[in-house]
Amino acid sequence: MFSQSAVFDDVYQHAHSLQDWPQEYDQLSSGKFEGFLEDIQLDSVRVFRERMKQSVVQDTHTPQGKISMMIPHHVEASDASEQARQIMASGITLLPYESDFSFVGPAELDYSIISIDHQRLRELLSHETYTRLIGFKKSYGIKTAPTFLVNLRQQLTVLMEDLKRVEVTADNAELISKAMEDKLIQLALTIYEADDKDTSQLKRLGNQHNYIVQRCHDYVASSEGSCASIVDICKALSIPHRTLNYSFHKATGTSPMQYLRAVKLNAARRELTKSHLPVTDVAANYGFFHMGYFSQEYRRLFGETPSMTRKRYADRV
């Protein structure tokens, strides 16, 4: 059994702390990042819980051979819709199988992921349900009764606390691991089997608004679009300005200018931590040609200046 529990003041360290779960985070809301991760890995089941106090764009590729679900503990309300955001605040999110997955989390996000080896579930689920789960290439939501969700959260919290408290020795390690795995699998089965009985509760998440945001994000993150303005983006991607604004509002709860400026600032921050280029050159690479403005917006978003970021990472080497 592997277990870790950590707090983070850096969004990138938080993102890269999950072993075998490749992901990249971009911080959207202003202020010093605060994150918490609790991660427990058993033989065929993994459960981890993440909390963040800033809005973050999460880009990941779900791990090979695992069927995963997200259980919300707290998802702060915002203008963005569940459908466009691609995660459920009032139900369970079934994550896509071995696929790219991206969503914009609101501030005050708290959720758990249960990830189970697909072969274990293949033995326990009906062929129809198993085939449907491994066929998902987008996230799906299951609307649940409020009491069911509250009970599920409580059960999961108790199980994770039990896993942390248990005293593992050479003699009992295998028995404890199996007992805990069985409890987590049983918890997951209550959700998958409920879906099996009533497929009308299953809803595909993501829509045209999310697709537009993702296209803009990818364009701005590319070398071609790193210095692009909103006008440039509309022209390059053939998206009307009004459609762009509405899509960002529905999918992220913020404006395209605020979102895309944050994406560029995050890209600049990553470059500051990895290269020895002068700060002025790094800023110019992402369309910031006025150093005063760059430093002001950078500090507003991350709670520190570019030079403070570079020094902090240099001190860690």
Q: Which helix (H) or strand (E) holds 257?
A: helix 256-274
- Parse the chain into domains and list their residue ranges: 2-204, 208-316
Q: Which helix (H) or strand (E) holds 112?
A: strand 109-117
Positions of the chain with pLDDT lower than 70, given as ranges? 167-171, 173, 195-200, 316-317
The CATH class of the 208-316 domain is: mainly alpha
Other residues' Cβ atoms within 10 Å of the Cβ of residue 49? 19
End-to-end Cα distance, the chain = 29
CB 285 within 8 A of CB 266: no
Among 70, 40, 71, 8, which Cα is nearest to 161's? 40
Summarised one tens digit per residue, pLDDT across range 75-128 is: 887 777 888 889 998 899 999 999 999 999 988 899 999 999 999 999 999 999
Q: Would you state the pLDDT for residue 23?
A: 92
**pTM, entire model:** 0.90
Among 32, 26, 56, 34, which Cα is nearest to 269's? 26
Kindly state the tokens that stand for 42: 């058993």
Q: Would you state the pLDDT for residue 194?
A: 72
Q: Would you state the pLDDT for residue 83?
A: 84
